Copies of this chain bind each other. A is one copy, B any other.
Amino acid sequence: MTGTTQDDYTDVYARRVRGMTTSEIRALFAVASRPEVVSLAGGSPYIAALPLDAVGEMLGRLGSDHGTVSLQYGIGQGTVDLRERICEVMALSGIHGASPDDVVVTVGGQQALDLLARLFLDPGDVVLAEGPSYVGALGVFQAAQAQVHHVPMDDEGLIPAALEEAIAAVTRSGRRAKFLYTIPTFQNPAGVTLSEERREQVLDICERAGLLVVEDDPYGMLSFEGDAPLPLRARRREGVFYVSTFSKTFAPGLRVGWILAPHAVREKLVMMSEANVLCPSAFAQAAVTQYLTTMPWREQVKSYREIYRERRDALLTAMRDLMPAGTTWTNPTGGLFVWVTLPEGLDSKAMMPRAIAARVAYVPGTGFYADGTGTGNMRLNFSFSSPERLREGVRRLSGVMEQELAMRAVFGAAAGHPHHRRRGNAAADAPGPDLA
| A interface with B by C-beta (< 8 Å) | 1, 3, 6-9, 12-17, 20, 22, 42-45, 47-48, 50, 52-53, 55-65, 67-76, 107-108, 110-111, 114, 118-122, 125, 136, 139-140, 142-143, 178, 207, 210, 212, 238-239, 247, 251-255, 262, 264-265, 267-268, 271-272, 274-284, 287, 427, 432-434, 436
25 contacts between A and B (CB under 8 A): A8-B238, A9-B212, A9-B264, A12-B212, A14-B118, A14-B120, A17-B119, A17-B272, A47-B68, A47-B72, A50-B71, A52-B68, A56-B64, A71-B252, A72-B251, A74-B433, A111-B276, A136-B278, A143-B275, A251-B283, A253-B283, A255-B277, A255-B281, A276-B276, A281-B281
Given contacts A67-B56, A275-B114, contact A76 B281 (CB under 8 A): no
Number of copies: 2
A122 in contact with B12 (CB, 8 Å): no
Q: How far is the CA of A262 from the CA of B7 in the complex (A)?
A: 9
Q: Which residues in B have their C-beta under 8 angstroms from that of A58?
A: 63
B72 in contact with A52 (CB, 8 Å): no
Q: Which residue of B lies closest to A283 (CB)?
A: B253
A140 in contact with B20 (CB, 8 Å): no
Q: How far is the CA of A262 from the CA of B210 in the complex (A)?
A: 45
Known: A13-B119, A72-B251, A251-B283. 6 other contacts (CB 8 A): A1-B207, A1-B238, A17-B272, A44-B72, A52-B68, A75-B433
Q: Which residues in B have their C-beta under 8 angstroms from that of A7?
A: 264-265
Candidates B73, B254, B427, B434; contact of A283 at CB < 8 Å: B254
A9 in contact with B262 (CB, 8 Å): yes
Interface of A is mostly: helix
A75 in contact with B264 (CB, 8 Å): no
Q: Which residues in B have their C-beta under 8 angstroms from that of A239?
A: 1
A57 in contact with B52 (CB, 8 Å): no
Given contacts A58-B63, A68-B48, A119-B13, contact A264 B74 (CB under 8 A): no
CB distance from A250 to the nearest CB of B (A): 8
Q: Which residues in B have their C-beta under 8 angstroms from that of A15?
A: 122
Q: Which residues in B have their C-beta under 8 angstroms from that of A43?
A: 73
Given contacts A13-B268, A20-B268, A63-B55, contact A433 B278 (CB under 8 A): yes
Given contacts A71-B50, A73-B434, A277-B255, contact A20 B271 (CB under 8 A): yes
Q: Which residue of B lies closest to A287 (CB)?
A: B283
Q: Which residues in B have their C-beta under 8 angstroms from that of A74?
A: 253, 433-434
Given contacts A71-B47, A268-B20, contact A108 B277 (CB under 8 A): yes
Candidates B56, B73, B122, B142; contact of A61 at CB < 8 Å: B56
Given contacts A52-B63, A58-B63, contact A142 B275 (CB under 8 A): yes
Given contacts A73-B434, A120-B13, A121-B14, contact A111 B277 (CB under 8 A): yes
Q: Which residue of B lies closest to A46 (CB)?
A: B68
Q: How far is the CA of A207 from the CA of B53 in the complex (A)?
A: 54
A436 in contact with B255 (CB, 8 Å): no
Q: How far is the CA of A65 from the CA of B60 in the complex (A)?
A: 12
CB distance from A26 to the nearest CB of B (A): 9
Q: Which residues in B have their C-beta under 8 angstroms from that of A272?
A: 17, 143
B122 in contact with A14 (CB, 8 Å): yes
CB distance from A207 to the nearest CB of B (A): 8
Candidates B70, B119, B136, B271; contact of A22 at CB < 8 Å: B271
Q: Which residues in B have their C-beta under 8 angstroms from that of A282?
A: 252-253
Q: Which residues in B have their C-beta under 8 angstroms from that of A22?
A: 267, 271
Q: How far is the CA of A389 from the CA of B332 in the complex (A)?
A: 61
Q: Which residue of B lies closest to A239 (CB)?
A: B1
Q: How far is the CA of A432 from the CA of B65 in the complex (A)?
A: 25
B62 in contact with A56 (CB, 8 Å): yes
Q: How far is the CA of A71 from the CA of B291 in the complex (A)?
A: 13
CB distance from A241 to the nearest CB of B (A): 10
